Structure 1
Amino acid sequence: MNAPFNKNANNAATHPAFLSLWEVEAYYGESYIVQNVSFNIHEGEILALLGRNGAGKTSTLRTIARLDDPAVTHGEIWLDHKPLHEMKAHEAAQHGISLVPEDRRIIPGLTVEENLQLAQIAPPKGWSLERIYELFPRLGERRKQDGVTLSGGEQQMLSIARALARDIKVLLLDEPYEGLAPVIVQEIAKTLGVIRDQGITTVIVEQNAVAALKLADRAVILDIGKVVFDGSAKEVLENTALREQYLAI
């Protein structure tokens, strides 16, 4: 079975997407969270996945990452012609999917460097520690510090760096700017731009919609588990009525 071609009107139908969700439905227990969601992302793009609280954004990320809940009950997810919807979470990770959760999940009792080394134990390995410290010099300065004692912004950097320590193709970010000062948000946004330049595809879920849209190439807006907009990030930034209706900004 071949990966579905891009059916999105915003992209040419002759070009298959790098990451494609096609009529995906998923549940948390009895709750119908992701409802017939379809969208496509091309390699190296940053997609802002937006919507109000409870719209299904985090559930969509978890579905892509193939975590146990929510469970896909219908539809297909393809990554570079490979059927993610048939994979377990560890298989998706081996194929290059990495989710950075909102709570960051820094491992207590381990230093910054040990958190990174732990991510590299199992193949495929990604960026070297030297390359990671070049991108995140602050982590290099604190490599011997217990990871959980870092500031919120530094912990977010460590979470992203830990993902890069694996050989990833798609970086899924859940609320990366949560609780961070504007200057740190700008620093992380700059870093994500560098990561995009390395060819890594990124999906960012973020309540700070304006910050996410300024970084993103495209945007998908969810409302009660359904796609209500799929287009350029610039269009959302310029469409006041759309932002007010679905993002309350």
Structure 2
Amino acid sequence: MNEKPEFDRSTNFSSHAPAFLSVWEIDAYYDESYIVQHVSFNVHEGEILALLGRNGAGKTSTLRTIARVDDPELRHGEIWLDHQPLHKMKSHEAAGVGIGLVPEDRRIIPGLTVEENLKLAQIAPPIGWSFERLYELFPRLGERRKQEGVTLSGGEQQMLSIARALARDVKVLLLDEPYEGLAPVIVQEIAKTLDIIREQGITTVIVEQNAIAALNLADRAVILDTGSVVFDGSAKEVLDNKELREEYLAI
């Protein structure tokens, strides 16, 4: 069994408690463009972390690095999930130990119904939530299970994308801009759903330009600026600090 290194208890992190997900001094590149620069933070089990910053701050790149997708390239640092070394894995291996990435473009597969999209997610173990449980969480998907996924509304497609991640045995849900392009009432609905998911013990990292909505949902926040961490603390601290929000989030 892999041993989790001592760095997850370092005073460089926001908590001395052992972390569920530890990101330690990661450097990631697109070709020779240095995008993620010595980024470190901890996420505890069942916690929602808002990963925030202006456009181009490195938020999506950090999320993709954690998920171990091919781009960007991780050149330094370590990522650990519950004693598992993600930094040594490919994306399918990271998915196999519990990483679920919900990308910004949702990637609903054309030609497949809602239920077929979910079945495809369960084509290989480990299997996560049952269809019954997913339709209980997302009643609209149950009503539209035979409808082609790409014909759903934007909010319904986002629900399908999240449900598809949960169809696997997910431990950490990585959400990239889940509120983008959605009406405020749908944003509230998605937020309530993410709160229910938290109650199930699933850890969540959310990247979102709608920073206030993300902060109202999150327990903690990490703010990036030009690829580096400039704040790591409670979400309430960010909501209460107007100067911090104006400087790094432009809100």
Tell me the residue number matched to 1:70: 72
1:127-164 alpha-carbon deviations (Å, 9 max, x no partner): 00000000000000000000000000000000000000
Contact kept? 1:19, 1:77, Cα under 8 Å? yes
AA aligned opposite 1:6: R
Q: Deviations over 1:89-110 (max 9, x none)?
A: 1110000001100000000000
Equivalent-residue separation in structure 2 for 1:81 and 1:123 (angstroms)? 20
CA distance in 2: counterparts of 1:237 and 1:170, whole angstroms: 24
Q: Distance in 2 between matches of 1:119 and 1:21?
A: 26
What are the within-5 Å matches in structure 2 for residues 47-86 of structure 1? 47-86=49-88
Contact 1:132–1:161 (Cα < 8 Å) also in 2: yes
| Residue aligning to 2:208 | 206
Aligned twin of 2:235: 233
| Alignment correspondent of 2:14 | 10
Determine the structure 2 residue equivalent to 1:164: 166
The 8 Å contact of residues 76 and 85 in structure 1, kept in 2 or not, is answered as: yes
The answer to whether structure 1 residue 146 and structure 2 residue 171 are counterparts is no
Over 3 Å counting, the alpha-carbon distance change for 1:9 and 1:162 in structure 2 is: closer
Gaps of 5+ in 1: none
Map 1:11-50; keep pairs closer than 5 Å: 11-12=15-16, 15-50=17-52
Q: CA RMSD in A?
A: 0.8
* Cα distance, 1:9–1:27 mapped onto 2, change above 3 Å: closer
Give the CA deviation at 1:9: 4.9
Mapped contact 1:104–1:155 kept (Cα < 8 A)? yes
Letter in 2 for 1:11: S
Letter in 2 for 1:108: P
Structure 1 residue runs of 4 or more that deviate by more than 3 Å after TM superposition: none
Match of 1:101 among 103, 118, 139: 103
The answer to whether the 8 A contact 2:37-2:227 is kept is yes
Amino acid at match of 1:24: I
1:82 to partner: Cα distance: 1.1
* Contact 1:41–1:47, Cα closer than 8 Å, also in 2: yes
Q: Contact 1:6–1:40 at 8 Å: present in 2 too?
A: no
Query: Could you say what secondary structure the match of 1:5 adopts?
Result: helix
Determine if contact 1:18/1:42 at 8 Å carries over to the other structure. yes
Q: TM-score, normalised by structure 2?
A: 0.97
Residue 242 of structure 1 deviates from its aligned partner by: 0.2
Distance in 2, matches of 1:9 and 1:74, equals 18
Displacement of 1:11 in angstroms is 1.1
The structure 2 residue matched to 1:127, chosen from 126, 129, 145, is 129
CA distance in 2, matches of 1:59, 1:229: 18
Structure 2 CA distance for aligned equivalents of residues 9 and 70 of structure 1: 24
What's the secondary structure of 2:8's corresponding residue? coil
Q: Structure 1-normalised TM-score? A: 0.98
